[in-house]
Amino acid sequence: MRKTNADKCTNRELHSICIPLLFKKFHTFIMSDTQQIWLDGNIIDKADAKISVFDHGLLYGDGIFEGIRFYSGRVFRLEEHIERLILSAKAIHMQLPWTLEEMCQATVDTVKANGLTDGYIRLVITRGEGGLGLNPYLCPKPSMFIIAAAIQLYPEENYTNGLELITCATRRPTPGSLSPQVKSLNYLNNIMAKIECIQAGVIEGVMLNEQGYVAECTGDNVFVIKRGKLYTPPVSDGSLDGITRQVIFELCKKAGLELTEKSMTRYDLYTADEIFLTGTAAEVIPAVKYDQRLIGDGTPGPISKQLVEDFRALANSEGTPCV
């Protein structure tokens, strides 16, 4: 097929802007050829880990997942992740043939089989093989697979100097559509927003809900600090009840910091003293510029820096053994 000028331009832009950005700025998951995958009860070579093209996880994004981290030979907040996964399954009316304990054990076994001490786990449950129609009741058996990989973080300079954010035009879905609490295999909404970030040359962006209130970022929760007090949007404004978000509640309580859930507009972020983001992959990371406005003096503030340190100390000191 002949390419139009618009196609050529898009490709050129992709190569000159997006691809270098991807390699320089984004998390890299390091996959080895000898990687071992847990698939439906067996640990097998990556090359043999296959899912049917009739699986509704692939055909419709009908499935759920969790991203989990392990540090220093221990899986961080494993039970909390599996509990959230079970709630996602319940919400999409998927009967799981595995118990919480079995899913925790399978996760630990996968990390062990790969001989890793630090990295990222992706646990995916698909609706399973079925017909070409939507009907999930024609998929008799869900499939679960677990990948464990080493992760190269955002460059350390992002943690010391902070990130830049934009507002994404793509909104979080309204409460009447699929709840953001379901970590479903259909992440297209977030991917559309992520494309906007990449095209704008930044790593992350703020997503608003239909009413214009701040919900979260494309893959992270957002926190604001103003006059020594912390604020984060309530989950009812369209954010995921993040596991790292919950850890921030704990760390603030311990440090005697006041943290409140509050509906916020972009104004609250533009005028914040500090902003930071939280997520399993990103951990805790300061943001210093938003829609071209400097946050505070444009460098990570003291509370954000303290929470980055506190989170790292906690993540490296507890968890379910996996070596």
Ligand X SMILES: Cc1ncc(COP(=O)(O)O)c(C=O)c1O
Report the catalytic residues: 183
* Span interacting with ligand X, options 10-18, 27-35, 114-122, 242-250, rule CB under 6 A: 242-250
With contact defined as beta carbons under 8 Å apart, do 171 and 206 qualify?
no
Count Cβ atoms below 10 Å from residue 243 Cβ, excluding itself.
22
Residues 159-198 that bind ligand X (CB under 6 A): 190
Q: Which residue has the tokens 């799981």?
A: 96
CB of 245 to ligand X, least distance (A): 6
Count Cβ atoms below 10 Å from residue 178 Cβ, excluding itself.
14
Q: Which residue has the tokens 């049917």?
A: 52
With contact defined as beta carbons under 8 Å apart, do 263 and 233 qualify?
yes
Q: Which of 57, 128, 130, 279 binds ligand X (CB under 6 A)?
A: 279
Per-residue string for binding with ligand X, 32-71, x by CB under 6 A? -----------------------------------x----
* 104/113 with CB nearer ligand X: 104
Query: How far is it, in rounded angstroms, from Cα 323 to Cα 321?
Result: 6
* Span interacting with ligand X, options 113-121, 194-202, 218-226, 266-274, rule CB under 6 A: 218-226
* 139/247 with CB nearer ligand X: 247
H-type alpha helices, 177-295: 188-200, 243-255, 266-270
Q: Which of 129, 164, 216, 237 binds ligand X (CB under 6 A)?
A: 216
Concatenate the DSSP letters of all residues of 142-198 into one string: -EEEEEEEEEEPSPHHHHHH-EEEEE-SSPPPPTTSS-TTS-BS--HHHHHHHHHHH
CA-based max dimension of the chain: 63
Q: Is 244 in the site for ligand X (CB under 6 A)?
A: yes
Residue 260's contacts (CB-CB under 8 Å, 6 or more residues apart) are 229, 230, 231, 232
Using CA atoms, how far residue 118 sits from 113, 153, 183, 291, in Å, is 13, 11, 23, 34
Q: Is 136 in the site for ligand X (CB under 6 A)?
A: no
Q: Is 280 in the site for ligand X (CB under 6 A)?
A: yes
Query: Looking at beta carbons, which residue is closest to ligand X?
Result: 242
Q: Is 277 in the site for ligand X (CB under 6 A)?
A: no
CB of 249 to ligand X, least distance (A): 12
CB of 2 to ligand X, least distance (A): 39
Query: How far is it, in rounded angstroms, from Cα 103 to Cα 115?
Result: 19
Total residues contacting ligand X by CB under 6 A comes to 14
Q: Which of 63, 130, 162, 242 binds ligand X (CB under 6 A)?
A: 242
CB of 9 to ligand X, least distance (A): 31
Q: Is 219 in the site for ligand X (CB under 6 A)?
A: yes
Q: Which of 106, 214, 243, 285 binds ligand X (CB under 6 A)?
A: 243
With contact defined as beta carbons under 8 Å apart, do 174 and 156 qualify?
no
Residues 84-103 that bind ligand X (CB under 6 A): none
Q: Is 278 in the site for ligand X (CB under 6 A)?
A: yes
* 119/128 with CB nearer ligand X: 119
Q: Is 220 in the site for ligand X (CB under 6 A)?
A: yes
* 56/194 with CB nearer ligand X: 194
Count Cβ atoms below 10 Å from residue 297 Cβ, excluding itself.
9
With contact defined as beta carbons under 8 Å apart, do 302 and 235 qualify?
no
With contact defined as beta carbons under 8 Å apart, do 122 and 69 qualify?
no
* Span interacting with ligand X, options 12-20, 41-49, 240-248, 292-300, rule CB under 6 A: 240-248
Contacts with ligand X by CB under 6 A lie at 67, 190, 216, 219-221, 240, 242-245, 278-280
